[in-house]
Structure 1
Amino acid sequence: MSGYREQQMSVKIPADIDQPDKILYGLTARQLAVLGGTAALVLWVFVTFQALVPFPALVAVVLPMAAAGVVVAIARHDAMSLDRYALAALRYLRQSNQRVSVDGPVQAPPSWCRMRGRLPTPLRLPVRAVRQDGVMELAQGGVAAVVRAGTVAFSLRTAGEQASLVAGFGRWLNSLDAPVQILVQARPVDLGGLADHITARATDLSDPVLERAAGEHAAFLSEIGAAHDLLVRQVLIVITDAASASSATPWWKSRGQQIGWDAGAQVVLRRAEEAVQSLAVLGVTAEVLNADACTAVLAESLSPGDPHPVDNAAPQELVTVRQEP
């Protein structure tokens, strides 16, 4: 019976179609090209310098070259091949660490102004804009919607209920026909504001017993917050429209691009609602984020802990100035 239960807890998911194909001996075409280039270089060094350099010295020179080629071809860092990681590091070192928000390239200062260091580089965020319906327009083309999901007490369920949850989640994963990213965020939470709110409202209670219980609960929250580092967990599901991203129109055809964004927005919103319904069957509460919630999530992800930007006025709303008392 235990073997049967363990078998029911596993669900087959299709392999990653973006993973490069294995050509020979479990190696990809890129790895074979790197190893072939390394072997050709080593052979050229042996043929060219074997009559001029002693054999031990030639081996001492060739052996690190061969080892470096094997490491570059096989080793990986942060799920990235070393050659691509080195290229990304080189691009990062060549760029300026300071970014500014400009539409075009950063203009150099006049000739009479002496400048130390390099010019800042334009800030390019992956999200171009957040629509009123909460759909994000991506800078590289395409659109995306964000679904915020809750969690379930998986370990408290019985073996049959756990198997049912795993099977239901597997069916939802198998039903996906577009790229989906599941992001789990853990952020520190401060209970001091909640404790102060309870303490302030406790005096409004008519029953002294309830007032004393509220004060004790506020003291308990303050004690828990001071004794432990509390974290709140948030699960975000980002659903994108691969069709609109692959068929993005050129930048000069702004009207055609806007039509593509509108069509893609309807697609991702429908897929987001389907994800909410599929997760509701598993007992997971989920919701599609609107424009305000999506903006708050982006701001929190880009700069955790910093205050969120103020609400922007709608296109047809009046911009007013509010004076603090």
Structure 2
Amino acid sequence: MNHNPEPPPLLARIPADINKPDKIAYGLTIRQLLIVTLTGGIAAAIYYLFHQLLPVVILAAILLPLLALGLAVALGRRDGLTLDRFALAALLHARTAKKFVPAPDGVAEPPRWCCLRGQLPAPLRLPVRAIRTDGALELTDGGVAVLVETSTLSFHLRTTGEQAALVGAFGRWLNSLETPVQLLARARLADLSGLIQAIEHQAEVLPHAALAEAAREHAAYLGDLNSTRELLTRQVLVVLRDHPATSRARRSVRRAASAAIVLRRAAEAERALAALGVTARVLDADQAAQAIAECLDPGGRHPFGQALPDELISATHTTTHNLGGNA
């Protein structure tokens, strides 16, 4: 009897932080070596200048905290950042405005008779200038991008051969890319209200009473789950981008040509990912606007199909939503 065991799994160790700086000496990077050297130099200079004037106890009380601070800055990390970069980010966050408003021409100053308390909002400068009807995003730097939403698959539940085939197919797609591609995986809140309503509606037309009762019980279970748990769903977005070449053609013509190119690449990505069993689709204008709004305000309420700031609302809905105030 011939026994063909499965091939060994293909393992490739990739560091979690591919942008991690190289270690030069003693397991330290250039930045860490500079901080340690500067701290040691300052401590040595203080000791050289004052060791004959101050007692050893006072020098130790001055130099030991200084050395400890330098080592903490060089070796410490907070939220994935080094302490010096974390302190710089905290300083910049404290000095910048916390409220942003859409103001392309800038925020107007209040009149002189108005007593202003706090800071004025800052203009919101998004990298997206406009969203075309075909879903292409016109960027402020002149480029065009497209959002492609993909489904997920279970990798660890596959056999070794299937895992190797998936890795090979995914690698072939990556090698076929001509331009940089961004893969964005984010978790967002899941709302089962629509599914619950669909099940309850379908339960009314089921042919058997036992099936209808089971459907109602399942809808009740989903309702309890939706109200008592914080449900999350994972969304994977592939961002394809193209920057039009500089030419004498009009900007609208260049953007249209760039949009056609990036949409063609999106169609090629859909076909390549279909070989992996991954369903991909290009987000249209409304879906792309919804995805951008959710990324800018995670966890907020973003009803689908919102009107634009300069768009006339010619229809009203019979239901109203109270957002925490009395109109």
Shorter-chain-normalised TM-score: which range?
0.7 to 0.9
Which residue matches 1:291? 285
2 CA distance for matches of 1:286 and 1:324? Answer: 33
2 CA distance for matches of 1:222 and 1:139? Answer: 48
- Larger proportion of helix: 1
Contact residue 97 and residue 120 of structure 1 kept, 8 A? yes
The change in CA–CA distance for 1:112 and 1:256 in structure 2 (over 3 A counts) is same
For structure 1, list consecutive stretches of 5 or more residues without a partner in the other structure.
none
Q: Amino acid of the residue matched to residue 55 of structure 2?
A: P
1 CA distance for matches of 2:251 and 2:114? Answer: 41
The change in CA–CA distance for 1:53 and 1:258 in structure 2 (over 3 A counts) is farther
The change in CA–CA distance for 1:21 and 1:212 in structure 2 (over 3 A counts) is same
Normalising by structure 2, what TM-score? 0.78
Q: Which deviates more from structure 2 when the two are superposed, residues 58-67 or residues 102-111?
A: 102-111
Provide the secondary structure at the position in 2 that maps to 1:5: coil
Which residue matches 1:122? 123
Contact residue 196 and residue 223 of structure 2 kept, 8 A? no
- The 5 A counterparts of 1:173-184 are 173-184=174-185
Deviations 1:189-232 (CA, angstroms, capped at 9, x unpaired):
333333333433554x4x742x6524532431221331463433
- The 5 A counterparts of 1:1-325 are 4-6=7-9, 8=10, 10-11=11-12, 19-139=20-140, 142-203=143-204, 205=205, 208-209=207-208, 213-227=211-225, 229=229, 230-241=231-242, 261-303=255-297, 304-308=299-303, 310=305, 321-324=314-317
Normalising by structure 1, what TM-score? 0.78
Provide the secondary structure at the position in 1 that maps to 2:8: helix
For structure 2, list consecutive stretches of 5 or more residues without a partner in the other structure.
319-327
Q: Which deviates more from structure 2 when the two are superposed, residues 87-96 or residues 140-149?
A: 140-149
Task: Tell me the matched-pair count.
Answer: 310
Report the aligned-residue RMSD: 3.6
Contact residue 150 and residue 284 of structure 1 kept, 8 A? yes
Q: Amino acid of the residue matched to residue 270 of structure 1?
A: R
The change in CA–CA distance for 1:151 and 1:64 in structure 2 (over 3 A counts) is same
Identity rate of aligned residues, in percent?
A: 43
Contact residue 195 and residue 218 of structure 1 kept, 8 A? no
1 CA distance for matches of 2:210 and 2:216? Answer: 10
Contact residue 76 and residue 82 of structure 2 kept, 8 A? yes
